[in-house]
Amino acid sequence: MPLRLDFTNMMAGPLPGAAGITADQWALGAKRFTAAHEAVRARHASGTLGFIDLPHDQVALEATLAVAAQFRGTVTDVLLLGIGGSALGPLALRAALRPPHWNELDDARREGWPRLHVLDNVDPASIAAMLARLPLAHTLVLVVSKSGGTVETMAQYLIVREALEGAVGEARARERLVFVTDPEVGALRAVARAEGIVALDIPPNVGGRFSVLSPVGLLPAALIGIDVRGVLAGAAACAARCGSPELATNPAGVFAVLQWLADREHGAHVQALMPYADGLRDIAAWFVQLWAESLGKIRPDGTSVGPTPLPALGATDQHAQVQLFMEGPADKTVTFIAVAGREEQGSIPARHAERPELGYLGGHTLGRLLEIERQATAGALAARGRMNATITVPAVDAPSVGALFYLFELATAYAGELYEVNAFDQPGVELGKQFAYAMLGRPGSEAARAQWDALPSPDPRWQV
Ligand code: PA5
């Protein structure tokens, strides 16, 4: 069963009152999608949307598998240094496609595959704790950065490399480093060349948040035994459907158009992604970066646009966020991710027949409970006129995860066209970076320093 998107509960008619997308609005969406599809096709043809090619990139896949094979059986731990797109994809892959609590399992239960640790921040407490705990002599360090110069990742690299050299010596440390970075530009590439450090390429036309199906995601995944061919096969199958110019047959197009219309026509600026599977929780976190950094932009006419993505987890967030979704402002959509085929999993024992709060559960399963709760939440939202949709995948497996990655990436490209923004840059994060460089004394940041110094200083009247 391929991935399925049910958007009945987004539409007027099924939803009560004035809620939901009307036939006229849907017709507008279909018209705008035709143009968006053509724009994405043209951008891809001009060579700028490299993420579209990744599911079929056999050369990158083989290069990645060769590096992974080189380290098979030689390390117990893999430490990934990266941030943003360089960390969120690997985390999502590990959570979805390795057993729960992977790093806590013993060697036998990991079938000899290494643990995977991800440092995606520069909190000194986390880094010190990681270095204190890791068996550095048996650890492979992946430094992942498209630009090859991101301040957080570079700081981590300098610290971890020193610790690694302290543990295994200079020459051996070089052999225990792999860089994943741009093939030409950036400090990491230069260091790799100068010191003969193994490096894999992130294609120049693939940006960080669109890189999970490149060696950024595939290398750490392959190192811990994930079926990366299956991930790419799932992405390729999704690509075959999502390239269609017919909106009605294109799930990525439908997702993009629904969210865009909900935002533009119904004020649904907040867009929650709520998988009902612990293994998919980190896909929601990955989606947040993709959707937010791609679509939160200033348009050519000067107006600011962009939906606010919100990660949630079913059933856990039924006890945290669903109250807000039901009765708070009607400014949200909720997209559930359901997993089929779990009806038989996790049987609940029949006990306490005498107690109404317990007796009815006996004979059901956790898989059924989770899906019933999802359906109940979707139905309750619909009954209140709250827009929601459901993506169903056949299982939490490699093809489904590949398909979800691809679906959301292509939907983001379509949504960029619908919102009339460039989904592939992030100018809004530049100023903060420049200010940080200026305060750290990076050469070339003098202009930013002057701008920083001209900012208002903290005013005692407004402090408490
Ligand atoms: O999507 C993006 O380009 C960014 O969010 C990056 O993923 C993030 O800034 C990390 O950049 P890099 O991979 O260059 O270190």
Tell me the per-residue pLDDT of 399-451, one tens digit each, with 9 for 90 and over: 999 999 999 999 999 999 999 999 999 999 989 999 999 999 999 999 999 99
Look up 138 and say whether it is catalytic: no
* Amino acid letter, 97: L
- Which DSSP category does 96 fall into? H
Asked whether the whole model's pTM tops 0.95, one would answer yes
The three-class DSSP label of residue 397 is coil
The CA distance from 30 to 24, in Å, is: 10
| Per-residue CA distances from 219 to 120, 246, 277, 286 (Å) | 17, 35, 24, 17
Q: Going by C-beta distance under 8 Å and a sequence separation of 6 or more, which residues neighbour residue 308?
A: 269, 270, 271, 292, 296
Q: Which fold has domain 51-226?
A: Rossmann fold (3.40.50)
Q: From the candidates 146, 152, 293, 332, which is the catalytic residue?
A: 293
Q: How far is the CA of 86 from the centre of ligand 1 (A)?
A: 6
Say how far apart CA 354 and CA 360 lie, in whole Å.
10
* Pair type for strands 388-393 and 198-201: unpaired
Residue 433 annotated as catalytic: yes
CB 75 within 8 Å of CB 139:
yes
Instruction: Report the amino acid identity of residue 123.
Output: D
Q: Distance, CA 60 to ligand 1 centroid (Å)?
A: 20
Atom 2 in ligand 1: which residue has the minimum CA distance?
208
Measured CA to CA, the distance from residue 289 to residue 292 in angstroms comes to 5
Give the residue whose CA is nearest to atom 12 of ligand 1: 145
Look-up of token digits 């000067």: 302
C-alpha 157/C-alpha 428 separation (Å) is 25
Q: Where are the domains of the chain?
A: 4-43+232-419, 51-226
Cα of 56 from ligand 1 centre, angstroms = 23
Nearest-CA residue for ligand 1 atom 6 is: 208
Minimal-distance CA residue to ligand 1 atom 8: 84
Residue ranges in the chain whose pLDDT is less than 70: none
- 153 Cβ closer than 6 Å to some ligand 1 atom: yes
pLDDT at 195: 98
Indicate the top mutation candidate among 49, 120, 146, 295 to test ligand 1's pocket, ranked by most ligand atoms within 8 A of CB: 146
Measure CA of the first residue to CA of the last residue in the chain; give whole Å.
59
- β partners of residue 142: 80, 178
The pLDDT of residue 164: 98
Structure tokens at 148: 């090859």
CA of 78 to the centre of ligand 1 (A): 21
Looking at residue 1, its pLDDT comes to 77
Catalytic residue among 44, 138, 364, 433: 433
**37 Cβ below 6 A of ligand 1:** no
Helix residue ranges, H only, 46-84 = 58-71
Q: Which residues contact 353 (CB under 8 A, 6 or more apart)?
A: 359, 362
pLDDT of residue 242: 95
| 319, 344, 354, 357: the active-site residue | 319
CB of 84 shorter than 6 A to ligand 1: yes
Q: Which of 318, 144, 303 is nearest to 214 (CA)?
A: 144
Counting from 1 in the atom list of ligand 1, the atom nearest the Cα of 150 is 15
- Beta strands 332-339 and 388-393, pairing class: parallel
Structure token digits, residue 341: 């085929």
Q: What is the pLDDT of residue 101?
A: 98
Spatial strand order in the sheet of 308-311: 4-6, 388-393, 332-339, 270-275, 308-311
293 catalytic per annotation = yes
The SS3 assignment for 144 reads strand
Report yes or no: 378 and 336 within 8 Å, Cβ to Cβ: yes
Same fold, 4-43+232-419 and 51-226: yes
Residue 153 CA, closest ligand 1 atom number: 15
Span from the CA of 207 to the centroid of ligand 1 (angstroms): 7
**What pLDDT score does 146 carry?**
97
Answer for the pair 25, 265: CB distance below 8 angstroms, yes or no: yes
Cβ(150) – ligand 1 distance below 6 Å: yes
At residue 350, the pLDDT reads 95
For 227, what's the count of Cα atoms within 13 Å in the CB-facing half-sphere? Answer: 14
CA–centroid distance, 211 to ligand 1, in Å, is 9
Confirm or reject CATH 3.90.180.10 for domain 4-43+232-419, answering yes or no. Answer: no
Ligand 1 atom showing the smallest separation from residue 186 Cα? 14
Residue 83 alpha carbon to ligand 1 centre in Å:
7
Q: How far apart are CA 129 and CA 416, in angstroms?
A: 40
Closest alpha carbon to 322 in 378, 243, 371, 267: 378
β-sheet bridge partners, residue 177: 141
Residue 85 alpha carbon, nearest atom of ligand 1: 7
Classify the phi-psi angles of 341: left when phi > 0, otherwise alpha if psi is within -120 to 50, otherwise beta: left
What would the two tokens of residue 278 be? 């612990």
Residue 244 CB less than 6 A away from ligand 1? no
Output the CA angle 387-304-317, nearest 5 degrees. Answer: 35
Q: What is the pLDDT at residue 325?
A: 98
Q: With a 6 A CB cut-off, is 145 part of the ligand 1 pocket?
A: yes
C-beta atoms surrounding 87 within 10 Å: 25
